[in-house]
Amino acid sequence: MGKRSGREVVARRYDRLAWLYDAYNAPMEISGVRTMRRRLLSQARGLVLEVGIGTGRNLDHYPPEVRVVGIDIAQRMLDRARRTAERLGREVRLEQSDVQRLPFADRSFDTAVATCVFCSVPDPVAGLRELRRVVKPDGQVLLVEHVRPRGWLLGRLSDVVSWATRRMFGFNANRRTEDNVVAAGFEILDVRRHGVWREIVARPAAAAG
């Protein structure tokens, strides 16, 4: 067999991790990420696309009136998200898909959401460009992501740590997500910085088309 694609590698990794994913991330959630999710996702409106929906941890943070379409690259993650939605009584459409090649028409969504996703996407700028394509011109993108520290020493340490985290857990600890958002054709409207964490609100830049 030939070498597996980046998409296949990520899907297999998260299928394997699905059963313990929530427990593995619990310390991070308790340390403040849950609060970031709740605060940011309260701004969601209209038809929402959540990429990397995972086990469905965001579903109880959305305003009740929004409609949610959730995608994930790993089927076992989607199975858990479906059970979460059923437990919450939340109607959600779930599909297995890759953010780098979204199966949706241009300008379909009012809001796109990703939380702790773009650290694991093989080509994050390509994925963000797909979000720009499927979000309406007056729509918004809401992101919670961890990024490469700004200081030289911590940044270099992050590069070293990322080598290990990428191989063991599939995520990069040194992504420059703010820069990637702009490179993908978005205008950043608001960003909250908490150490290596970012809450980002962005919209398609007018010049990007």
pLDDT for 40: 95
Q: Among 53-57, 108-112, 189-193, which range has the highest average pLDDT?
A: 108-112
Q: What is the CA radius of gyration of the chain?
A: 16
Instruction: Select the more confidently predicted residue: 153 or 100.
Output: 100
Instruction: Select the more confidently predicted residue: 204 or 31.
Output: 204
pLDDT for 118: 87
Q: Looking at 44-48, 98-102, 182-186, 203-207, which range is the least confident one?
A: 203-207
pLDDT for 48: 98
CATH number at residue 92: 3.40.50.150
For 2-41, the pLDDT digits (tens) are 445 567 777 777 677 766 666 666 666 766 788 999 999 9
For 162-196, the pLDDT digits (tens) are 544 555 555 556 678 889 999 999 999 999 988 87
The DSSP line for 102-165 is: --S-TT-EEEEEEES-TTS-SSHHHHHHHHHHHEEEEEEEEEEEE---SSHHHHHHHHHHHHHH
Domain-embedded: residue 1:
no
Q: How far is CA 26 from CA 20, 32, 147, in A?
A: 10, 10, 19
Number of domains in the chain: 1
pLDDT for 150: 61
Contact by Cβ (8 Å): 51, 112: yes
The whole domain housing 121 covers 6-208
Contact by Cβ (8 Å): 162, 174: yes
